[in-house]
Chain A
Amino acid sequence: MTKTATTSLQRKRARETHVAAAVFLAPVVVLLAVFIFYPIFDTFHISTFKWNGIDANPVFIGLGNWAALLKDGAFWIAFRNNITIMVCSILVQIPLGLAMATFLDFGGTKKLNVFKILWFIPLLMSSVAIGFLFTYALATNGGIVSTISRFLGGKNIDLLGNPRLALFTVIMVIAWQFTPFYMVYCMAAYTNIPMEVFEASIIDGATKPQYFRHIALPLLMPSLKSAAILSMVGSLKYFDLIYVMTGGGPGTSTELMATYMYKQSFKNFNMGYGSAVAAGMFLLITCMALATMRLINQKEG
Chain B
Amino acid sequence: MKRTHVTVLGKRALAVALGVVCAVGLAACGSGSGSGAAATTAASGGGQTAAAPAPGGGDDKTIEFWHIATEGGHKVKVEAAIEKFNSTTQSGYKVVGVPIQNDTYKEKLVIAMSSGECPDAYVSWSGGPMNEYINSGFARELDALFDATPNKDKYLEGALAQGRLDGKLYGIPYHNTSISGVFYNTEIFAKYGLEEPKTLEDLEKICDTLLENDIIPFALANGSKWTGSMYFMSLAARKGGLEPFQKAVAGEGTFEDAAFIYAGEKIQEWVKKGYFPEGVNSLSEDDGQAKQLMYQEAAGMLLCGSWYTGTFSDDSKEFYAKVNWFSFPEITGSGADPKIQIGTVGDQFISMNCDGDKLKAAVEFATIFSDDDMIQVGIDNGTVPPFKGVVDQLTDPCTVKIMQAAADAPEIQLWYDQYLPPAVATAHLDGSQEIFGLTKTPEQAAKMMQDAMAKYNSESK
Contact = CB atoms under 8 A, between A and B. Distances in A.
A230 B210 CA distance: 53
A54 B279 contact: no
Interface string A14-45: 00000000000000000000011111101101
Interface string B392-434: 0000000000000000000000000000001100100010011
B48 interface: yes
B223 A161 contact: yes
A268 B420 CA distance: 11
Contacts of B186: none
> How many of chain B's residues touch chain A, expressed as a range?
35 or more
Contacts of B137: 55-56
Interface stretch (A172-180, A188-196, A205-213, A271-279): A271-279
Interface string B263-299: 0000000000000011111111001010011000010
A226 interface: yes
Contact of A286 (B8, B24, B30, B48): B24
A40 B110 contact: no
B27 A239 contact: yes
Main secondary structure of the interface of B (DSSP, over half): helix
Contact of A268 (B36, B426, B439): B426
Residue of A51, A54, A155 with highest tally of chain B CB at under 10 A: A54
Interface in A285-301: 285-286, 289-290, 293, 297, 300
B136 to A, nearest CB: 4
Contact of B280 (A40, A42, A161, A246): A161
Contact of B20 (A37, A50, A233, A297): A233
Contacts of B8: 222
The 6 nearest A-B residue pairs measured at CB:
A39-B32, A161-B282, A140-B279, A158-B279, A160-B282, A55-B136
Given A40-B21, A56-B42, A290-B17, 12 more contacts: A36-B25, A39-B32, A42-B36, A135-B284, A233-B20, A237-B27, A249-B430, A269-B423, A270-B423, A278-B24, A279-B28, A282-B27
Interface of A: 35-40, 42-43, 45-46, 50-58, 132, 135-136, 138-142, 155-156, 158-163, 166, 222, 226, 229-230, 233-234, 236-237, 239, 246-247, 249-253, 258, 261-263, 265-271, 274-275, 278-279, 281-282, 285-286, 289-290, 293, 297, 300
Interface of B: 5, 8-9, 12-13, 16-17, 19-36, 38, 41-42, 47-49, 106-107, 110, 113-114, 129, 132-133, 135-138, 223, 225, 277-284, 287, 289, 292-293, 298, 422-423, 426, 430, 433-434, 437, 439-440, 459
